Each structure stands twice: as C-alpha cells, then as structure tokens.
C-alpha cells in the first residue's frame, strides 16, 4: 500500500519535469519550430536556478532564474533560426552542445554546494487522507502547476483566436503571412515561451527534484521531452499522460531495486531511454497518423521574401 503510493507520487513528480518541458516544446512545434536545444537550455537553466538558490536561498527566485536562462538561450536560437534562416536541426544541436559545455564550465564551483531545505508541501485536509494523501496531495506546487498548464494550453490552442493564429503559423506560414500576421514575431514568441518552460523544468530538476548540481544532470530529459511531443501526436493532454508514464518508467527502477530484483543497475538505468525508443517506434509505425497530426511546416524555414 505505502509502496504503491510512493511510486505514484514519485512518478508524478518525475513526470512533471518532462511534462513542463514537453509542453514548452509543443508550443514551439505548433508554430512550426523544432528546438533540439531543449537539453542545453535545461542544463543551463538547472545551473542558473541552482546558483540563484545558493545565492539567495529562495527557491522561487531559482525557478524564475531558470526560466530567464531558458528564455535567453531560446532568444539566441530564435534569432538564428527565424531571422537568419539557419537550419533548425543544426542550430538546436549547437544549443544543446553549447548548453552542455557552458553549464559544465560555469558550474564547476557549485558541484559540492548544498541547498537550504524546503518545507514539506501539503494540501490542507486532503494530504491527511490515507494512501491518496501521500500519493497525490503532498507535492511541490509545480506538480499541480503542470496540470493547470495543460488545461490552459488546451483552451488557448483550440478555443481562442490567438491559439488558432499560432497553429496557422505552424501549418502554413505563407498563408498566415498573406493574411497579414507577423509570422516571424509569432514564431519568436513561441520559441521564447518554449524556452522559458524548458528553463522552468530544468531549474525544477536542480532545485526541487534532485537538489544538487552535477555536470550533465539533465541526462537526456530534454531529448525525451522532444520525443514526447511526437508520442503525444502534438496534443497537450496526451503529453501529460505520456510524461507521467515516462515518470513511472524512470521511477520503477528504484522500486525494482528496493524489491530486491537482481538486475544490474545499468540495465535499469537504460529503461527510460529504451522506453523512449519503443514508444517512438510504436507511434511512428503508421506514417499517415503522424502526417495528419504533425504541424505541416514543422522544421521548415520561412522566408517572407522582399
């Protein structure tokens, strides 16, 4: 009983990181931009958040600093991709490589640092329920924030005019341009929002999820988040579901070890990566399915002409 509640709780927590990053990337991709730099942005944001908490003691400021770091790097990416029409894949890769290098370089002084304790979180009354309390109601506020974000995105993307415009930019930037919408500014906005959310996720990792800083600590979560957008066929609600599923896969290794299952730890660590591959294979099997759901001009540059 107690075990299963803890497994659910830790899966939700782990899934939240992936969900926030993947929702950010979803906004990018709905506007037609693939940002392979998620991993790099999350790493820099993780460091920025960690360093801010070390300096100020405030976890909220840490999360904000992470968002700012993600935003700045996304702005650089956006400038290159949207105004200089550089290849989106190559530029995203550059961002990931730079982010990994820069965070390792700038973070050397923080490897031994410790963060102040954060008080336990509890939703009043509900957190005292047996089983449900520890499973669902003793989380960091951001875990609930991710839920709210999904609802917000579903409403915004599919129920508002501005959401429709964003999607039109991702489907056919030429038409959106012909209708007089500022395609490039809309895309930049989407890229910035995505960067800020990836930054938030990165900072959550280093300040709340595993409060420490080590080089490369994001360990592929940015890439898994990218895979999640495909897995979810670009639907916000499915992203949340997928993220929790992946959270569970990540967490199950610790529980298996706890159960005394004698598999070398390396094979357990492989699980999330293997699961990502498996999920990509399952979802991509039917190319029609992907083609229908994918924003039509995903990854294609837009040059408005003279």
The residue ranges that bind another protein (CB under 8 A) are 36, 40, 76, 80, 83-87, 89-91, 93-95, 97-102, 104-105, 108, 215, 219-220, 223-224, 226-227, 230, 264, 266-267, 269-270, 273-274, 276-277, 280-282, 284-285, 287, 290, 303, 305-306
Closest CA to 212 of 71, 70, 62, 72: 62
Q: How far is the CB of 230 from another protein (least distance, A)?
A: 7
CB of 224 to another protein, least distance (A): 8
* Closest distance to another protein from the beta carbon of 159 (Å): 30
Cα distance between residue 181 and residue 162, in whole Å: 11
Q: How many CA atoms lie within 13 A of 263 on its CB side?
A: 15
Q: Which two tokens stand for residue 273?
A: 């990566």
Q: Is 32 helix (H, G, I), strand (E, B) or coil?
A: coil
Q: How far is the CB of 11 from another protein (least distance, A)?
A: 20
Closest to another protein by CB, 154 vs 271, is 271
Of the candidates 38, 13, 11, the residue with the CA atom closest to the CA atom of residue 225? 38
For residues 98 and 121, which CB has a smaller minimum distance to another protein in the complex? 98
Please state, in angstroms and rounded to a whole number, the distance separating the CA atoms of residues 130 and 149.
28
Q: Cα(first)–Cα(last) distance of the chain, in Å?
A: 66
Which of 113, 165 has the CB closer to another protein? 113
Output 1 or 281, the one with its CB closest to another protein. Answer: 281
Contact (CB, 8 A) for 82 and 253: no
Q: How far is the CB of 34 from another protein (least distance, A)?
A: 9
Please state the closest distance from residue 259 (CB atom) to another protein, in A.
20
- Comparison of 168 and 253: residue with beta carbon closer to another protein: 253
Shortest approach of another protein to residue 220 CB, angstroms?
5
Q: Residue 28 or residue 168: which is nearer to another protein going by CB?
A: 28
Sign of the torsion angle spanned by Cα atoms 153, 154, 158, 160: negative
Q: Are 248 and 18 in contact (CB under 8 A)?
A: no
Q: Closer to another protein at the Cβ: 11 or 229?
A: 229
Query: By C-beta, is 131 or 303 nearer to another protein?
Result: 303
Closest CA to 15 of 108, 147, 148, 126: 147
Contact 44, 103 (CB under 8 A): yes
Minimum distance, C-beta of residue 256 to another protein, in the bound complex (Å)? 15
Cα–Cα distances in Å, from 97 out to 29, 100, 104, 213, 269?
A: 21, 5, 11, 18, 23
> Within 13 Å, how many C-alpha atoms sit on residue 3's CB side?
7
Both tokens of 252, joined, read 């199950």
């Amino acid at each position: 009983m107690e075990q299963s509640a803890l497994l659910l709780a830790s899966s939700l927590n782990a899934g939240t990181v992936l969900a926030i990053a993947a929702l950010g990337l979803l906004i990018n991709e709905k506007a037609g931009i693939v940002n392979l730099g998620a991993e790099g942005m999350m790493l820099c944001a993780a460091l920025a958040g960690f360093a801010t908490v070390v300096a100020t003691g405030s976890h909220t400021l840490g999360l904000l600093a992470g968002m700012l770091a993600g935003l700045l790097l996304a702005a650089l990416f956006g400038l290159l991709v949207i105004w200089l029409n550089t290849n989106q894949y190559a530029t995203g890769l550059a961002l990931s490589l730079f982010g990994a290098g820069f965070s390792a370089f700038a973070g050397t002084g923080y490897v031994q640092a410790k963060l102040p304790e954060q008080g336990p979180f509890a939703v009043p009354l509900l957190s005292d329920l047996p089983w449900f309390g520890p499973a669902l109601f003793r989380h960091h506020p951001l875990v609930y924030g991710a839920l709210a974000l999904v609802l917000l995105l579903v409403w915004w993307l599919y129920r508002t005019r501005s959401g429709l415009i964003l999607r039109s930019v991702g489907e056919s930037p030429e038409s959106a341009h012909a209708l007089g919408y500022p395609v490039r500014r809309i895309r930049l906005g989407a890229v910035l929002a995505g960067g800020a959310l990836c930054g938030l996720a990165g900072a959550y990792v280093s300040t709340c999820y595993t409060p420490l800083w080590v080089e490369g600590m994001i360990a592929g979560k940015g890439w898994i988040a990218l895979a999640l957008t495909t897995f979810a066929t670009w639907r916000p609600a499915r992203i949340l579901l997928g993220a929790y599923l992946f959270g569970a896969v990540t967490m199950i290794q610790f529980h298996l070890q706890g159960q005394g299952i004698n598999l070398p730890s390396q094979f357990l660590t492989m699980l999330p990566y293997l699961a990502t591959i498996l999920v990509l294979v399952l979802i991509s099997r039917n190319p029609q399915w992907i083609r229908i759901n994918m924003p039509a001009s995903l990854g294609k540059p837009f040059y408005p002409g003279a």
